[in-house]
Amino acid sequence: MMHIPPYHKRPEWQRFLAGVASGTIIGYLIFIYMFGQLQENWIEENITLRGELQDLKQTYENLQQNHEALDEQAKKGIQVSEISIDLLNLEELHLENDRIMIHQLEEAIRAEATEAIGKSVDELANSVGLLISTIENKTINIDDFRFQAEVKRIIISETIQLAIELKKAEP
């Protein structure tokens, strides 16, 4: 009959088996630590990528809305929103230092051209002659002075830029 030799009683085998057991436990602990670190890094990367994806989706939606708004605006055309007036010959009329008179002149001219605000640039370009004649045919009365405006230059974009030369009008 055969029997298994009693190796567990020999000190060399006891040390070997204790080393295998302690090595297994240490290896398992190192494995758990490394797996935990990898899992933590993966979760952090996943959260970061989800945040970036959300930002990209929001940016895409904003760009899509802006594109639609620009497309709609392009269909309507650019609209005039402001009128800028430059009075050319204030020095000749000795008005360069009279801020109140300059302001009143600009407001009177702006009042004649206000119908252009809100119109599309294309529509206004077709009727620029009407705008010029509206401004030039009006006599501007401020205090005891009468002025006739003459449009020297007009630039039509989102802002209408008028270069006006004033002449003293006959009563």
- Nearest CA to 107 among 144, 142, 146? 142
Domain C-terminal end among 48, 76, 104: 76
Query: Is the predicted pLDDT of residue 115 greater than 70, yes or no?
Result: yes
Q: Is residue 19 part of a domain?
A: yes
Same-domain check for residues 72 and 129: no
Q: Give DSSP secondary structure letters for 55-92.
A: HHHHHHHHHHHHHHHHHHHHHH--B--EEEEEES-TTT
Query: Is the predicted pLDDT of residue 16 greater than 90, yes or no?
Result: no
State the residue range of the domain holding 43: 10-76
Q: Is residue 98 part of a domain?
A: yes
Query: Is the predicted pLDDT of residue 17 greater than 90, yes or no?
Result: no
First to last CA, the chain: 146
Same-domain check for residues 15 and 41: yes
Q: Is residue 158 part of a domain?
A: yes
What confidence category does residue 24 fall into, taking pLDDT thresholds of 50, 70 and 90?
A: very high
Same-domain check for residues 99 and 55: no
Q: Is residue 45 part of a domain?
A: yes
- Give the model confidence (pLDDT) of 39-90 as tens digits: 999 999 999 999 999 999 999 999 999 898 888 877 777 788 888 999 888 8
The DSSP 8-state label assigned to residue 171 in this structure reads: -
Query: Is the predicted pLDDT of residue 6 greater than 90, yes or no?
Result: no
Residue 5, pLDDT score: 64
Same-domain check for residues 159 and 92: yes
What confidence category does residue 3 fall into, taking pLDDT thresholds of 50, 70 and 90?
A: low
Same-domain check for residues 30 and 97: no
Same-domain check for residues 39 and 14: yes
Same-domain check for residues 65 and 88: no
Mean pLDDT value across residues 140-167: 89
Q: Is 33 helix (H, G, I), strand (E, B) or coil?
A: helix
pTM of the model: 0.56
Same-domain check for residues 87 and 132: yes
Same-domain check for residues 95 and 141: yes
- Average per-residue pLDDT in the chain? 87
Report how far residue 126's alpha carbon sits from residue 107's, in angstroms, rounded to the nearest whole number. 25
Same-domain check for residues 160 and 101: yes
Same-domain check for residues 90 and 150: yes
Residue 1, pLDDT score: 57
Report how far residue 110's alpha carbon sits from residue 83's, in angstroms, rounded to the nearest whole number. 7
How many degrees, rounded to 5, is the angle at CA 63 between CA 57 and CA 69? 140
Residue 113, pLDDT score: 85
Q: How many domains are there within the chain?
A: 2
Same-domain check for residues 102 and 25: no
Q: Give DSSP secondary structure letters for 34-60.
A: HHHHHHHHHHHHHHHHHHHHHHHHHHH
Residue 22, pLDDT score: 96
Q: Is residue 4 part of a domain?
A: no
Mean pLDDT value across residues 110-128: 84
